[in-house]
Chain A
Amino acid sequence: MSILINQETRVVVQGITGAQGSFHAKLCRDYGTNISAGVVPGKGNTDFEGIPVYNTVAEAVKEQRVNTSIIFVPAKFAAGAIVEAIEAKLELVVCITEGIPVHDMMKIKSCLRGSKTKLIGPNCPGIISPKEKIKIGIMPANIFRPGKIGIISRSGTLTYEIAARLSKKGFGQSTCVGIGGDPIVGMDFIDCLELFDKDKETKAVVMVGEIGGSAEEETAKWISTRLTHPVVAYICGLSAPPEKRMGHAGAIISDGKGTAKEKIEALESAGIPVAKTIDEVDKKLKQVLKRGY
């Protein structure tokens, strides 16, 4: 099993003729993903490598029964592309695009609240299930192995780093979700953990966090109040410079959360082992799996 994606997943690629869109649409299809349609405004009634292209997501839904989208549209137009996918009532939208303005994202979150659409990203590597052979993203497929570990990560390249390490050490993955590194993203750690908890095949989850915001602290609090799969965390940014700070408002509204040290403390005090290095992630996993739940 996997979370969010399965054999019923039919994908539309928004921006399929662009440089990134065309390159990765092919790689996703080669991996096994059911790429059913593409959308490029003004290029309807054409096709890309045998994949039918439509002007709108609504048409792709009507003609190809797509239920999931992956977005490669440039940042200028990406917010509009997300809203279009929400309005077409897709179940899942994966937005790879980097650089969407924060003010747009705040409005998109407002739209999402009244809908049944789930958003992964933006500024993320996407989602992959090695067992189901489905990849909706830009990650190098060869580093993943089928297995029982879930990965949720705010960082793209760190996801690769950790997945490669786990695969090498015999810990295959059920599903890996890159939730994106922007200040405001769609699904967060807790949304993904809830789904992993319902997934019988997943036995433990690795969460990869980084400095900024309070998502890791909120997750620690959430985990401490219930019985979940065992979770192992890795947090980067312990040595991050202070220049990234902005005024006092951030410090005031975050109640002293946000640094790597505070995140690690919050996680550890919720009983979640935190790996100090990437090489330690699989060792910590071994420990929590042995302890059993």
Chain B
Amino acid sequence: MKIHEYQAKEIFKEYGIPIPRGRVADSLREAEIIAQELGFPVMVKAQITAGGRGKAGGVKEAAGLEELIMVTSQMLGHRLATAQTSAEGLMVDKVLVQEKLGIKKEFYLAITVDRQKECPVIVFCPSGGASIEEVAKEHPERIYKEYIDPVKGFIDFHGVKADMMPVASALWRVFKERECLLVEINPLVLAEDDKLYALDAKIVFDDNALFRQLENQKFSDVSELNYIKLDGNIGCMVNGAGLAMASMDTIKLFGGEPANFLDVGGGADPEKIRRAFQVIAEDPEVKAVFINIFGGISRCDLVAQGVSMAFQNKKIDLPLIVRFEGTNAKEGFQILKKSGIRFQKASSLTDGAKLAIGAVR
């Protein structure tokens, strides 16, 4: 679970990592009040949970009131698309208004899970900022990595650089105590007062640890559906992330465009299926729906029940392509037929993908 920058900064503050003065605003009026308190110039930062904001115009300086009104009204209530979002972008409901610091130097500091080494890793680079990935590519020798034993934890000699020590140590405590997948400060700046500040803050929590991370739960606004909207017109409802991706890949390979990624998971009940199907059907871009279920722990009959519930609930007038295989596939098809839903039966994943593409043409 990704949280917003302003939320991550609240956590940083709790752990003693210095952050610039500032507050979050959800209206122009509030932004004005905060800016007056801080004194101009200020930085205005759109709060979305994706990176690449700076280059996409989501971080702007305001030298005075007029500029503040202009940049804030361009952000609030609008969608912001960055290199890390879909083309339609994410809605900006809040902006962070913070003091503009005089900067002497920018660093990069992060702790994440190294999947290959299977342990936490501290990543430090003496030149931080928006182009950190290019630096990593062109000057890999400038990226310092320190692997941490997950049992022993962070020890002071892991300190990347003596004066980074307190920040690195505090960042480790955030990572470990809040069970993060990523904590990132980019940039960590040396300001004119010769102190370090986290100018930006990124935290990704491990969803799997939410059951015992009660403090993290308050940030949770994700629906339980594993759904990601895409730019195409073929809605996809699949069980298992791997099969869902394979279905999208196959649609794309034969010239179609998937409208979403949706993994209904293992053992979904009819009610969850109904909601999932409605989310897909309510997307105005969707012109056909491809249901691809390979029953193992999931049962095709329960999926069929959920789908027919969705049709009873609301008039849905979309071509439907269904592929059921595995546990109770036959029963699944019978339920769909009985409920009078019109659908095309697909004999395989590829067949279904082709039928769906045919339906939207």
Contacts and interface: CB of A to CB of B under 8 A. Distances in A.
Interface of A: 20, 75-76, 98-103, 105-107, 109-110, 125, 138-140, 143, 153-158, 160-161, 164-165, 181, 183-184, 208, 210-215, 218, 234, 236-256, 260, 276-279
Most buried by B among A109, A138, A153, A158: A158
21 contacts: A76-B212, A102-B113, A102-B179, A107-B150, A109-B119, A140-B296, A140-B326, A155-B241, A161-B294, A161-B325, A181-B242, A213-B115, A213-B116, A218-B116, A238-B245, A246-B204, A248-B51, A249-B110, A252-B125, A252-B136, A279-B350
Given A98-B266, A103-B176, A239-B249, A249 B182 contact: yes
Contacts of A106: 113, 118-120, 150
Contacts of A248: 51, 108, 110, 132-133, 136, 184, 186
B118 A184 contact: yes
Most buried by A among B132, B149, B241: B241
A105 B120 CA distance: 11
B220 to A, nearest CB: 15
Contacts of B137: 256
Nearest to B293: A157
B58 to A, nearest CB: 15
Interface in B153-192: 176, 179, 181-182, 184, 186
Interface in B202-242: 202, 204, 206-209, 211-212, 228, 230, 238-242
B83 interface: yes
A244 B248 CA distance: 15
Contacts of A139: 296
Contact of A278 (B119, B182, B246): B246
A260 B241 CA distance: 14
A245 B84 contact: yes
B327 interface: yes
Given A155-B240, A184-B115, A103 B209 contact: yes
Contacts of A213: 115-116
Contacts of A214: 115-116
B270 interface: no
Interface string B294-308: 111100000000000
A237 B113 CA distance: 21
B47 interface: no
A157 B242 CA distance: 7
A101 B242 contact: no
Contacts of B118: 105-106, 109, 184
B171 to A, nearest CB: 12
Most buried by B among A105, A110, A247, A251: A247
Given A143-B326, A240-B248, A253-B121, A157 B240 contact: yes
A71 to B, nearest CB: 15
Contacts of B337: none
Contacts of B50: 243
Contact of A160 (B120, B132, B230, B296): B296
Interface of B: 2, 50-51, 83-86, 108, 110-116, 118-121, 123, 125, 132-133, 136-137, 140, 143, 145, 149-151, 176, 179, 181-182, 184, 186, 202, 204, 206-209, 211-212, 228, 230, 238-243, 245-246, 248-253, 258, 261, 266, 294-297, 325-327, 348-350
B184 A249 contact: yes
Given A181-B242, A184-B113, A239 B258 contact: yes
Contacts of A110: 119, 149-151
Contacts of B251: 239
- SS class of chain B's interface: helix, strand, loop or mixed? mixed
B245 A210 contact: yes
B243 A158 contact: yes
Contacts of B83: 242
A236 B348 CA distance: 16
Nearest to B145: A253
Given A241-B86, A241-B228, A241-B230, 13 more contacts: A75-B208, A102-B181, A103-B209, A158-B242, A181-B241, A212-B115, A239-B230, A239-B249, A242-B86, A246-B182, A252-B110, A277-B249, A278-B246
A153 B50 CA distance: 30
A244 B244 CA distance: 14
B99 to A, nearest CB: 24
A243 B86 contact: yes
B182 A160 contact: no
Contacts of A256: 137
A161 B243 CA distance: 8
A239 B252 contact: yes
A210 B242 contact: yes
Nearest to B85: A243
A241 B246 contact: no
Nearest to B298: A157
Given A103-B176, A242-B84, A278-B350, A247 B150 contact: no
B176 A161 contact: no
Contacts of A276: 253
B128 to A, nearest CB: 9
Nearest to B265: A98
Most buried by B among A101, A110, A153, A211: A101
B206 A208 contact: no
Given A140-B296, A154-B242, A278-B349, A101 B179 contact: yes
Nearest to A113: B118
